[in-house]
Structure 1
């Protein structure tokens, strides 16, 4: 009788072990690039097939909604296990406040495969709460066909005065010079960030973290951005439009230039009427222009290192997926199929598309690489930079009031 009970118990245990539900891993991302999402779908399908005890699911949320809802989401019981991150102060603050999970001991392979400098940028007090994956350089996209119609030479775009002159020529030719989705805040901050760096040097925002916004270069950058906005260089209705509208404007050949990140190449294709965007032989890439007398150089670049962070609900299963997802083979697939720029040098060799190859060369050829300013400064100061930049682009604030707002944000952080 006793043996029968033991056998029955073992049988029940066996049934439960066979039917045990797989561990779920939820990844929250902000990508709306079709080729990227198709590649991720393939990778997730392969991982789930190889690991029946783990079920990985991807969920999408728009970039601005992600920023506004993330803090509340991280405090809820339904938080995802892995979230997209731009690194910077927000990432570090969340790690130190206990909202992220330390997964250092579960990521042995990737700590060896990925570049040490990039991995170290994701360490907080020596521990890993996430990992970097791809480089996101920010550059000036331009339509050479439209520039030619207006008599603009691409060499003119290398200096600020030449750039201003190009805007004048394009407007005179009846061509919208620039497309921007100003309703989202962060697109405008690329203009202000670059101008401040070109005028005050690449370390100017590092100094602002310590000393505030008293450097005259911050005011001059605001003066120059307001000078640009007063020329009315952007598409009609730009202050109410988001980045999707701006990418469509550029992709449809309705605007000559756009200051955007690496992702812009693919999204301007997806959002265009033809789904092909600006023809490859008409699409040019340039660096943000230098400012006469400034301390910054043409080859100083703003480039984020996007990655992934583990929330405090993540289990070792999430780290196991990360070890697979960001391995050399899968990052290589992102390079070859999704036209992304992996930080792993061996993976980056898989980039095939000619324009992406040119883009990939921008970072290693740069004299200085600066992260996205709004992310480096954190939610409070970075948000103030975004707000001020947007008001300058909209022509609704004076340069002096813009700096006063930034200094006030610094004083009361």
Structure 2
């Protein structure tokens, strides 16, 4: 879902059009080199776009063959885990960075790209490589970026007499009260899938404790700091207002009656989601093609007295890592992808935010432009917690926050459970 996170959403369910895999990394000999490339754009529009990019690279590199395996998000994770455990990573493969990438680096499964990426780093936006940098070493090259924020229905806000986007948490709670008073469902949420819910707790922790709180939690393997409990307390305030649609605990994200459809069909006033949200709203809404110019965007509000700034962004993106046995041409392909003209193809075709500065002019969609403008002035960036930390910790974040949203867990329970998972890791 997040491509970036977007791969988690509308791409699910499409068949994986994978091609036959080679037995090991690069193959050299009379036929040249074969590069195995696994990515998650397994549907149009990027499926053919990536294929065309590979063919153009081959044309400029005689003897090189790029063997593409497109996979749906969850299938990709499963297959990649199997290959990594067997010591046979693909030559180039999708990554979201964070804890999983760190584990792959520690296991010696991927190349240190610090020196290589230095050749095109200046072409990228300042925060592009943050999620792929581990102990000052870069292990992947970024392709796209994005952030989570509140998408809102301007018409429904107007019906409730809300004339401005809330800038503080207290103001957001007041907006929720006004929407309920106007008989409008304030927020759509895919409670069944859990990861959308973790955005609330994570953003609140970021706004209350700032980026330093997150860094310290990673260093200490502990979420016992009082700011994490306070984040749960603030989220419980929202839950107490019953802001979500009826049946939200059983709702999916991109299903016909899920979060995106509820928003796209005008049945809820807000959803907290990444930059891909308008596309999924359009795809999921029943013949409505989304909200059009009724849709707006605002950053997650500040928390009064918090150390975090409203200009600190929470989100993620997509990039590519290089397997340990990959040939030099694999790195050359990443350089090729990072060329402005190629970055513009992804931005125009897939509706994502490019990390190549010169390709920013390809972002013409007004909704994406809103997100891009906020990101351009961001003062800090925090990767999704279910990706920033090792998988077991990320899953515990999702599970514990889901329990809080369901009224089955306390703010203290959430912090304690996540800390226990972090200590075990």
* TM-score bracket for this pair, using the shorter chain length: 0.7 to 0.9
In 1, Cα distance between equivalents of 2:60 and 2:238: 54
Asked if 1:400 corresponds to 2:412, the answer is: yes
Q: Which residue of 1 aligns with 2:383?
A: 371
- The 3 A distance-change label for structure 1 pair 206 and 238 is same
Instruction: Give, in whole Å, the separation in 2 of the partners of 1:366 and 1:49.
Output: 39
Root-mean-square deviation over aligned CA pairs: 2.9
2:208 is matched with which residue? 199
Q: Does 1:152 align with 2:178?
A: no
What do the CA deviations read for 1:370-410 (whole angstroms, capped 9, x no partner)?
22223222323322222211211222212222222123223
Query: For structure 1, which segment, 233-242 or 72-81, has the greater mean C-alpha deviation from structure 2 after superposition?
Result: 72-81
SS in 1 for 2:233: helix
Quick check: 1:307 aligned with 2:319?
yes
Cα distance, 1:131 vs. partner?
0.7
Match of 1:384 among 393, 396, 411: 396
Describe the SS at the equivalent of 2:156: helix
Aligned match of 2:178: 169
Deviation for aligned residue 1:190: 0.9
Aligned residue for 2:230?
220
Q: Does the 8 Å CA contact 1:262/1:359 hold for their aligned counterparts?
A: yes
**For 1:35 and 1:275, how far apart are their aligned partners in 2?**
21
Does 2:93 correspond to 1:83?
yes
Instruction: Tell me the distance in 2 between the aligned counterparts of 1:123 and 1:294.
Output: 27
User: Helix, strand or coil: the match of 1:349?
Assistant: helix
Aligned to 2:285: 272
How far, CA to CA, are the matches of 1:259 and 1:187 in structure 2?
Answer: 8
What's the secondary structure of 1:334's corresponding residue?
A: helix
Q: Cα 1:80–1:411, aligned 2, differ >3 Å: closer, same or farther? A: closer
Q: What residue is the counterpart of 1:60 in the other structure?
A: 71
User: How many Å apart are 1:75 and its aligned residue?
Assistant: 2.1
Number of residue pairs matched by the alignment: 392
2:263 is matched with which residue? 250
Map 1:19-168; keep pairs closer than 5 Å.
20=31, 23-29=34-40, 31=41, 34-37=44-47, 39-48=49-58, 53-62=64-73, 64=74, 66-67=76-77, 70-76=80-86, 80-102=90-112, 109-111=119-121, 113-115=123-125, 118-119=128-129, 122-124=132-134, 128-155=138-165, 157-168=166-177
Displacement after TM superposition at 1:334 (Å):
2.0
Kept in 1: contact 2:338–2:356 (CA 8 A):
no
Change (3 A) 1:67 1:25: closer
Aligned counterparts of 1:372 and 1:282: Cα–Cα separation in 2? 28
Tell whether 2:173 aligns with 1:186.
no
Which is helix-richer, 1 or 2? 1
Query: Equivalent residue for 2:361?
Result: 349
Give the CA deviation at 1:33. 7.5
Give me the whole-angstrom Cα distance separating, in 2, the residues matched to 1:167 and 1:363.
Answer: 26
- After superposition, the C-alpha distances for 1:246-283 in whole angstroms (9 at most, x for unaligned) are 2222122222111111122222222222372111x211
Deviations 1:191-230 (A, max 9, x none): 0011112222232111222342232221111112122223
Q: Separation in 2 of the partners of 1:123 and 1:364?
A: 20
Flag the 1:352–1:379 CA change in 2: closer, same or farther, 3 A.
Answer: same
Could you list the runs of 5+ residues in structure 1 that have no partner in the other structure?
1-15
Give how far 1:171 is off: 2.6
Structure 1 pair 367–396 and aligned structure 2 pair: CA distance change class (3 A): same
1:366, CA displacement in angstroms?
2.1
1:361 aligns with 2:370: no
Residue pair 1:141, 1:284 contacting (<8 A) in 2 also: yes
**1:258 match: secondary structure:** strand
Provide the C-alpha distance between the structure 2 equivalents of 1:32 and 1:270, rounded to a whole number of angstroms.
Answer: 16
Task: State the 1:102 CA deviation.
Answer: 4.1
Name the larger-Rg structure: 1
Distance 2:417 2:130 in 1: 33
Partner of 1:4: none
Distance in 1, Cα, partners of 2:152 & 2:126: 34
Q: Deviations along 1:46-103, whole A, 9 cap, x unmatched?
A: 44555564134241222x5545664234224775432221212321221121222345
1:298 aligns with 2:310: yes
Deviation at 1:108, TM superposition (A): 7.0
- What is the rounded CA distance, in whole Å, between the counterparts of 1:32 and 1:150 in structure 2? 41
Q: What TM-score results when the alignment is normalised by the length of structure 2?
A: 0.82
Find the aligned partners of 1:397 and 1:92 in 2 and give their Cα distance.
30
Contact 2:224 2:416 in 1 (8 A): no
